[in-house]
Structure 1
Amino acid sequence: MTGAVEPRWLDEEEQHAWRAVLRAGHLVRLAMEAALDAHDVSLGEYELMSMVSEAPGMRMRMAALAELVVQSRSRVSHTASRLERRGWVQRVPSVEDGRGVVLVLTPEGREVLEALAPVHVESVRAALLDHLTREEFLAYGELMKRVVLANRTSDEQATDAV
């Protein structure tokens, strides 16, 4: 095989750092999931409702929502179906073009989200923030913002803020 490029292997320090990042990410996610599981809500469901609640009019196009939560449109659609069966969201046609679908948080969904928000934020604090200084956490967020921007497609970068 000619012209093969040698992989840029991680050195020992990079490997240790990478494994810590990977493990920490898994552990933080598990902690957030466990906190919400106790209320019979998945992290994916909570995340969708939370993102929609922060959008203008508590409504967001499904395609934009999929990009925001970094999930396939199909996965977001399945999650939205579960939430819709519970009466927490509603899918409606887009008023802008009639082709797109918009996810709207219902009043019941807003009540559920308001009850779950303290549970979620406490799990985030206990799993991550309580182990870092405020400055470290904010710096970590800025670093991760660079990673997000570097790994988006050009279409996503043009349409979605970090």
Structure 2
Amino acid sequence: MTTRWLTPEELRAWRSYLAASWLLEDAIDRQLQQQAGMPHLYYSVLANLSEAPDHRMRMTDLAEALKITRSRLTYAVTRLEKDGTVRREGCPTDKRGSVAILTEDGRALLERTAPGHVDTVRSAVFDHLTEEQVAQLEAICSRITEALQQDEERSACGELPWRRRSSTP
């Protein structure tokens, strides 16, 4: 098989994407650590639970929504349980599964933290884009996500994270 090397334009775009994504993740993590003492992943767990019916989700569904491994989610939820922001219960429809539930303390923390998080995202991303660029960003990211999820066997990445047995690739 012949390697299809990136063109100079593709390489510039790739490196630009990497720089932007790393700097953005760092900015979001710093803001959330300073304001709430939690990393972005923990905030994302709380945010997803806050949007779910009855503020609860099966752990496997939550891992898929967050695009992470089940073991990484288990670690995060265990930490959030210790903080009293999430609790876990057995799944009534699947004895092997469990459900993560946002607690009142979790909702309160999210309500305090969300405005600062949104300000960070807006100032880091959306304040620099036109409406057309926002639509393009959504289209590009959606296309990449769909392509990676569409056929995991043909994907260079292999098995999707939430289907892996462990966090190692």
TM-score by length of 1: 0.89
User: How many residues get paired?
Assistant: 153
Name the SS for the 1:6 alignment partner: coil
- RCO (CA 8 Å, sep 6+): is it higher in 1 or 2? 2
> Which residue number corresponds to residue 42 of structure 2?
45
Structure 2: gaps (5+ residues): 153-158, 161-169
Q: 1:8 is aligned with what amino acid?
A: R
Partners in 1 of 2:21 and 2:53 — Cα distance? Answer: 30
Matched letter for residue 56 of structure 2: R
Hey, what does 2:10 align to over in structure 1? 14
2:19 is aligned to: 23
> Secondary structure at 1:152's aligned position in 2?
helix
Equivalence map 1:9-158=2 (5 Å) = 9-39=5-35, 40-152=37-149
Instruction: Note the C-alpha offset of 1:10.
Output: 0.9
Q: CA deviation at 1:135?
A: 2.1
Distance 1:115 1:28 in 2: 21
Identity %: 39
Q: Partner of 1:38: helix, strand, or coil?
A: helix
Shift of 1:78: 0.6
Change (3 A) 1:101 1:37: same
Following superposition, which runs of at least 4 residues in structure 1 exceed 6 angstroms of deviation? none
Q: Where does structure 1 lack aligned partners over 5 or more consecutive residues?
A: 158-162
Distance 2:77 2:116 in 1: 21
Deviation digits for residues 36-73 of structure 1, max 9, x if unmatched?
01021111100011111111110001111111111111
Work out the CA distance in 2 between the residues paired with 1:99 and 1:72: 17
Deviation at 1:127, TM superposition (A): 1.1
SS at match of 2:46: helix
1: CA distance between counterparts of 2:2 and 2:96?
A: 47
For normalisation by structure 2, the TM-score amounts to: 0.85
Q: Residue type of the partner of 1:54?
A: E
How far did residue 152 of structure 1 move? 1.3
